[in-house]
């Protein structure tokens, strides 16, 4: 399909001169109602552009501002990243995008940003709204002027995780809003046509065929094929689109990542991690809990300080940090000020950080889809990357089986020479009590 010249220039401005196969293909379905789409694509393949570009293209000719696209994602950070893409694409157009995630203020402050006074009273001037599910539910139930009468596209990013959050009722509220507007319109038309004496239900329904064209678009690297889970989303004749050659298994694996597993004991893991990260930059390390995230980030930073690495910075990225602090940490990591970012489980999904060269899985993920998402933080947009998974003896069999079940995916075994970690023991033993003391202080 043809892409507007303004959008082509906007794409160039953000460094995109070529699109991956399938990006222009996702919209628009000419059937009524349009079929919903379930898209499974590897991490880093540009899923955001895949839905943002055709949505902006479809809305370019709109005359009256109204919320026609709603994008819902599981975390504030991911929503902010999606919002930035839409803002970049909407430059030099009449379209407006708004972000609602509770990151920068109260519900009242967001309501003021979300609504404007117009000729018909309060209305939302945004064509595209990007939101987290909880905050969206707040506005749908408490911001009465937030209308979805004209909603055409509902994008559910990281769809597999969003299906786990369906209990938040955000989807039910969205569908109720859309359904109510449709019923109200039908009733109004019935009243008007009955007054003219030309009422015909068949003709009325025929005229309404283009009134509501809500299309749901699901995106994920590990999209569930479980019918019960998909049923929760009330999809209409869903069409599955899978990028990457084979779909023998349910998971799409990145092909441009060198993957290594390192066998070690629990006591060796910190030393091996230090060995891997101290001479590298742009390292993302995933730990299984907030406590481990905090301990490991302290250990790495204190060790680097003891070694005299003045420019070396390691910090944590976890859900307990304020959103403003998380935003600054991400910004510093992207700019290269931070060498190593230690990330907790809760912040791992959907984290889109460019230029990550190495990923370390300090704790082995229990599921293949979790493994895919984590190693997929490197090798974004066709670049290459390296992933290291640290495995204790009892974890090796399960990990190998999990990888084998996922299809064609080679994970080589890497051996860290004993002498390379042995010479680190002296400083390591000096640092350990310092980490323990700092942890005690933080718990008080």
Dist CA 150 CA 164 (whole Å): 27
pLDDT of 201 above 60: no
* 397 is a domain residue: yes
Does 284 lie in the same domain as 209? no
- Mean pLDDT for 21-33 is 53
Top-confidence residue, 20 or 82:
82
pLDDT of 199 above 90: no
Dist CA 23 CA 49 (whole Å): 7
pLDDT at 203: 47
pLDDT at 216: 93
DSSP structure class, residue 241: E
pLDDT at 218: 92
**Which two tokens mark 361?**
């899985």
- Mean pLDDT for 139-164 is 87
- Among 191, 216, 242, the domain-final residue is 242
Torsion of CA 266, 270, 275, 276, to 10 degrees: 90
313 and 301 Cβ atoms separated by less than 8 Å: yes
Distance of CA 125 to the CA centre of its chain: 25
Does 234 lie in the same domain as 331? no
pLDDT at 210: 44
Q: Three-state DSSP class for 9?
A: helix
pLDDT at 206: 43
pLDDT of 101 above 70: yes
* 93 is a domain residue: yes
Dist CA 430 CA 423 (whole Å): 13
315 and 290 Cβ atoms separated by less than 8 Å: no
pLDDT of 5 above 90: yes
- Mean pLDDT for 47-56 is 91
Average confidence score pLDDT of the chain: 83
Most confident of 70-79, 83-92, 231-240: 83-92
Q: Tens digit of pLDDT for each residue in 382-432?
A: 778 999 999 999 999 999 988 887 765 789 999 999 999 999 999 999 999
3-state percent helix, strand, coil for the chain, nearest multiple of 5: 45, 15, 40
Does 213 lie in the same domain as 70? yes
Q: Compute the half-sphere exposure of residue 203: CA atoms within 13 Å on the CB side of its CA.
A: 7
Burial pattern 304-316, b for ≥16 Cβ within 10 A else e, equals beeeeeeebbbbb
Does 233 lie in the same domain as 90? yes
Top-confidence residue, 408 or 213:
213
Q: Tens digit of pLDDT for each residue in 346-378?
A: 676 657 787 899 999 999 988 887 888 888 888
Whether residue 234 has a cis bond before it, omega within 30° of 0: no
Structural domain including 300 reads 257-443
pLDDT at 411: 92
Does 146 lie in the same domain as 284? no
pLDDT at 182: 54
Q: What percent of the chain has pLDDT over 70?
A: 79
Top-confidence residue, 254 or 311:
311
Tally of CB atoms within 10 A around 434: 15
Helices (H) and strands (E) in the chain, counts: 16, 16
69 band by pLDDT with thresholds 50, 70 and 90: very high
- Among 218, 242, 266, the domain-final residue is 242
Top-confidence residue, 288 or 69:
69
Q: What percent of the chain has pLDDT over 90?
A: 43
* 247 is a domain residue: no
Phi, psi of 215 (to 5 degrees): -120, 130
The residues, any chain, with a CB within 8 Å of residue 198's CB and separated by 6 or more, are: none
pLDDT at 128: 96
Dist CA 370 CA 59 (whole Å): 35
Does 275 lie in the same domain as 232? no
pLDDT at 208: 47
**What CATH number should be reported for the domain holding residue 396?**
3.40.50.300
Distance of CA 149 to the CA centre of its chain: 26
pLDDT at 444: 65
Dist CA 231 CA 246 (whole Å): 25
Dist CA 151 CA 213 (whole Å): 8
pLDDT at 177: 86
Phi, psi of 106 (to 5 degrees): -80, 170
pLDDT at 119: 57
* 51 is a domain residue: yes
Question: How far, in Å, are 309, 388, 391, 412 from residue 421 at the CA level?
Answer: 18, 16, 17, 20
* 251 is a domain residue: no
Q: Angle 47-59/76-89 helices, nearest 10 degrees? A: 50
Residue whose token pair is 């998974």: 389
* 380 is a domain residue: yes
Does 272 lie in the same domain as 231? no
Does 310 lie in the same domain as 236? no
Does 284 lie in the same domain as 138? no
**Which two tokens mark 336?**
């290269």
Does 127 lie in the same domain as 32? yes
Tally of CB atoms within 10 A around 384: 11
248 band by pLDDT with thresholds 50, 70 and 90: very low
Q: In the chain, how many domains are there?
A: 2
- Among 242, 270, 299, the domain-final residue is 242
Question: How far, in Å, are 44, 93, 222, 410 from residue 217 at the CA level?
Answer: 18, 24, 15, 32
The length of the chain, given as a count of residues: 444
Q: Three-state DSSP class for 361?
A: strand
Q: Compute the half-sphere exposure of residue 131: CA atoms within 13 Å on the CB side of its CA.
A: 22
Identify which of 205, 207, 201, 211 has the alpha carbon closest to the alpha carbon of residue 179: 211
* 367 is a domain residue: yes
- Mean pLDDT for 128-135 is 93
* 248 is a domain residue: no
The lowest-confidence range among 156-160, 193-197, 288-292, 436-440 is 193-197
Does 214 lie in the same domain as 178? yes
247 band by pLDDT with thresholds 50, 70 and 90: very low
The string of DSSP letters for 300-334 reads HHHHHHHTT-TT--EEEE-TTS-HHHHHHHHHHHH
pLDDT at 288: 87
Top-confidence residue, 48 or 426:
426
373 and 222 Cβ atoms separated by less than 8 Å: yes
Dist CA 273 CA 388 (whole Å): 10
Does 129 lie in the same domain as 188? yes
């Amino acid at each position: 399909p043809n892409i507007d010249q303004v959008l082509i220039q906007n794409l160039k401005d953000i460094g995109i001169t070529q699109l991956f196969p399938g990006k222009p293909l996702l919209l628009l379905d000419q059937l009524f109602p349009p079929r919903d789409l379930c898209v499974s694509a590897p991490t880093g393949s540009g899923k955001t552009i895949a839905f943002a570009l055709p949505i902006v293209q479809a809305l370019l000719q709109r005359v009256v501002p109204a919320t026609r696209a709603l994008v819902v994602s599981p975390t504030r950070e991911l929503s902010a990243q999606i919002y930035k893409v839409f803002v970049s694409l909407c430059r030099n157009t009449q379209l407006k995008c708004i972000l609602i995630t509770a990151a920068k203020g109260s519900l009242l402050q967001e309501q003021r940003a979300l609504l404007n006074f117009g000729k018909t009273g309060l209305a939302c001037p945004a064509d595209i709204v990007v939101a987290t599910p909880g905050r969206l539910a707040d506005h749908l139930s408490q911001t009465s002027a937030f209308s979805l009468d004209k909603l055409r596209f509902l994008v559910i990013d990281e769809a597999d995780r969003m299906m786990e959050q369906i209990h938040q009722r955000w989807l039910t509220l969205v569908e109720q809003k859309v359904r109510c507007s449709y019923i109200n319109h039908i009733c109004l038309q019935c009243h008007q046509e009955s007054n003219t004496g030309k009422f015909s239900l068949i003709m009325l329904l025929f005229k309404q065929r283009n009134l509501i064209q809500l299309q749901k678009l699901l995106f994920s690297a590990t999209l569930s094929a479980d019918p019960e889970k998909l049923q929760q989303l009330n999809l209409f004749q869903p069409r599955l689109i899978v990028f990457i050659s084979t779909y023998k298994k349910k998971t799409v694996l990145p092909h441009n990542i060198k993957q290594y597993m390192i066998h070690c004991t629990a006591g060796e893991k910190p030393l091996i991690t230090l060995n891997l990260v101290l001479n590298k930059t742009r390292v993302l390390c995933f730990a299984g809990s907030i406590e481990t995230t905090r301990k490991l980030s302290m250990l790495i930073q204190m060790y680097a300080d003891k070694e005299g690495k003045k420019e070396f910075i390691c910090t944590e990225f976890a859900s307990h940090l304020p959103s403003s602090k998380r935003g600054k940490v991400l910004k510093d990591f992207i700019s290269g000020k931070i060498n190593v970012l230690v990330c907790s489980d809760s912040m791992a999904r959907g984290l889109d950080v460019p230029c990550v060269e190495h990923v370390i899985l300090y704790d082995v993920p229990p599921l293949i889809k979790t493994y895919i998402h984590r190693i997929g933080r490197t090798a974004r947009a066709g670049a290459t990357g390296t992933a290291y998974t640290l495995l204790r003896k009892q974890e090796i069999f399960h990990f190998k089986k999990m990888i084998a079940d996922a299809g064609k995916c080679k994970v080589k075994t890497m051996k860290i020479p004993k002498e390379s970690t042995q010479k680190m023991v002296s400083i390591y033993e000096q640092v350990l009590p310092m980490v323990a003391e700092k942890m005690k202080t933080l718990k008080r």
